[in-house]
Amino acid sequence: MVAKWAERDPSAAAAYAAQLPEGALRRNALGRAAQQWTNADPESAVAWISRLADPTTQREVLPGTLATWASTDPRRAADWARALPEGELRERGCESVVSAWVRRDPEGVSDWLNTLPESGSRDRAIDAFAPNIVESDPAGAMAWAGSVSEEKRRVGLQLRLLNNWKRNDPAGARAWIEATDLPADAKSALLRAE
């Protein structure tokens, strides 16, 4: 019902969905309304979602809405996500946009990532970007992973990428490990893990 209504009047359908009691029905209705609204007017849709009082609903609905927008205008969706206040909503928004954008235009994503200041949202966006380029550019993926500021996320991403690289190109991965400036014991551990 909400999806059909949202096709005709997405803002009214979204307002109705927002008044439903908390629960799966409300989340589903909000998601469907937001999806339709994004197809018609993405900036208004994401602006409305960002003004919702319930942060849980924002976190659940905004990433998908931004991903839908990114399928038609990734740069504007990315810039909109970047303009959110730093925090989980911005992190999830940036991650969602990058995930939707990277398969079509990895160079555009790379250029955009280079404009982001060091932050949790940049780290999370890189975490979405690097695994998508590791097969075509493993050294580049590792360089991106190395730029993640939060140590635990950086190390986890590097290990995931390296494991993928070792499966696809063991000799290339070995050469990268040997050429890095990692401490000798870390290099040995990575080489033994082959």
Secondary structure (3-state) at 151: helix
Secondary structure (3-state) at 173: helix
Query: 78 with 97: CB under 8 angstroms?
Result: yes
Instruction: Identify whether 173 is part of a domain.
Output: yes
The total number of structural domains that make up the chain: 1
Instruction: Identify whether 2 is part of a domain.
Output: no
Confidence (pLDDT) at 28: 84
Interatomic CA distance for residues 151 and 6, integer angstroms: 43
Domain region containing 173 = 134-194
Instruction: Identify whether 93 is part of a domain.
Output: no
**Residue-wise pLDDT tens for the chain (194 aa)?**
777 887 788 788 888 888 888 888 888 888 888 888 888 899 899 888 888 878 888 888 899 999 999 999 999 999 999 999 999 999 999 999 999 999 999 999 999 999 999 999 999 999 999 999 999 999 999 999 999 999 999 989 998 999 999 999 999 999 998 898 877 887 887 787 65
Instruction: Identify whether 147 is part of a domain.
Output: yes
* Burial zone of 164 (CB within 10 Å; 0-12 exposed, 13-18 middle, 19+ buried): middle
